[in-house]
A and B are shown apart, each in its own frame.
Chain A
Amino acid sequence: AQSVTQLDSHVSVSEGTPVLLRCNYSSSYSPSLFWYVQHPNKGLQLLLKYTSAATLVKGINGFEAEFKKSETSFHLTKPSAHMSDAAEYFCVVSDNNNDMRFGAGTRLTVKP
């Protein structure tokens, strides 16, 4: 069985400051891991994915995430937040059977 825990339901940062959204996973296999973003009243968009290549993954809009097997973590970071980054972010784990499981989501608020 696999699962994902997003440690913060809500994160608030000021524009121009770093963003850290935390994600821990549990999987019986070497998982694939993803971060998706959902803007208000929109569908989900893939930010980045890890599929056993480089452990530091760069995504769109300046986001990146580092796969740390020893910590079973896949935290999402960005050096400098922008107002347009305000959205809901979902960490997702997928096993070899393509079964995808979502975390509960983290709502990111960016203050001017």
Chain B
Amino acid sequence: NAGVMQNPRHLVRRRGQEARLRCSPMKGHSHVYWYRQLPEEGLKFMVYLQKENIIDESGMPKERFSAEFPKEGPSILRIQQVVRGDSAAYFCASSKGGGRMNTEAFFGQGTRLTVV
């Protein structure tokens, strides 16, 4: 059973370009979380999704950022018109959900976005 797969591992974008980060959850997991880790800071919650639904996006910047988790395929975190301040490591996690015993999240290796 493969773990949470994130790709690409490293992504370089010029200012103004779009960045697409992909996350394939573990088999059987229907809950996906995205976190951002800025240099010298902790992990910040961005968005929590279930299949085809955004449950909590209170940590998402109001502009340029969006996320989806379609019925088929990976979850996508999309950043439009990237700026230098978007440079960070973005981690995706998945869980089974559905109750207290299924809240453990398994993390991907992260995507390191560098905006030049």
Interface residues of A (CB under 8 A from B): 6, 32, 34, 36, 42-46, 49, 51-52, 88, 90, 92, 94, 96-105
30 pairs from A and B in contact (CB 8 Å cutoff) = A32-B100, A32-B104, A43-B91, A43-B107, A43-B108, A43-B109, A44-B91, A44-B107, A45-B107, A46-B104, A46-B105, A46-B106, A51-B101, A51-B103, A88-B42, A90-B42, A96-B99, A98-B48, A98-B97, A98-B103, A99-B48, A99-B56, A100-B45, A100-B48, A100-B93, A100-B103, A101-B45, A102-B35, A105-B41, A105-B42
6 tightest CB-CB pairs across the interface, nearest first?
Answer: A105-B42, A104-B42, A44-B107, A43-B109, A102-B43, A94-B103
Q: Are A34 and B104 in contact (CB under 8 A)?
A: yes
Write the nearest CB–CB distance from B67 to chain A, whole angstroms: 15
Q: Is B69 located at the chain interface by the 8 A CB criterion?
A: no
Q: Are A43 and B110 in contact (CB under 8 A)?
A: yes
Summed over the interface, the residue pairs from A and B with CB atoms below 8 Å come to a total of 64
Write the nearest CB–CB distance from B94 to chain A, whole angstroms: 11
Q: Are B104 and A49 in contact (CB under 8 A)?
A: yes
Q: A90-B42, A90-B43 are in contact. Are A52 and B108 (CB under 8 A)?
A: no
> Chain A residues with Cβ under 8 A from B44's Cβ?
102
> Chain A residues with Cβ under 8 A from B109's Cβ?
42-43
> Chain A residues with Cβ under 8 A from B91's Cβ?
43-44
Q: Are A99 and B55 in contact (CB under 8 A)?
A: yes
The chain B residue sitting closest to A52, CB to CB, is B100
The interface bits of chain B over 74-116 (1 if a CB of A lies within 8 angstroms of the residue's CB, else 0) are 0000000000000000010101011111111111111000000
The interface bits of chain B over 17-55 (1 if a CB of A lies within 8 angstroms of the residue's CB, else 0) are 000000000000001010100000111110010000001
Q: Are A98 and B31 in contact (CB under 8 A)?
A: yes
Write the nearest CB–CB distance from A79 to chain B, whole angstroms: 25
> Chain B residues with Cβ under 8 A from A92's Cβ?
105
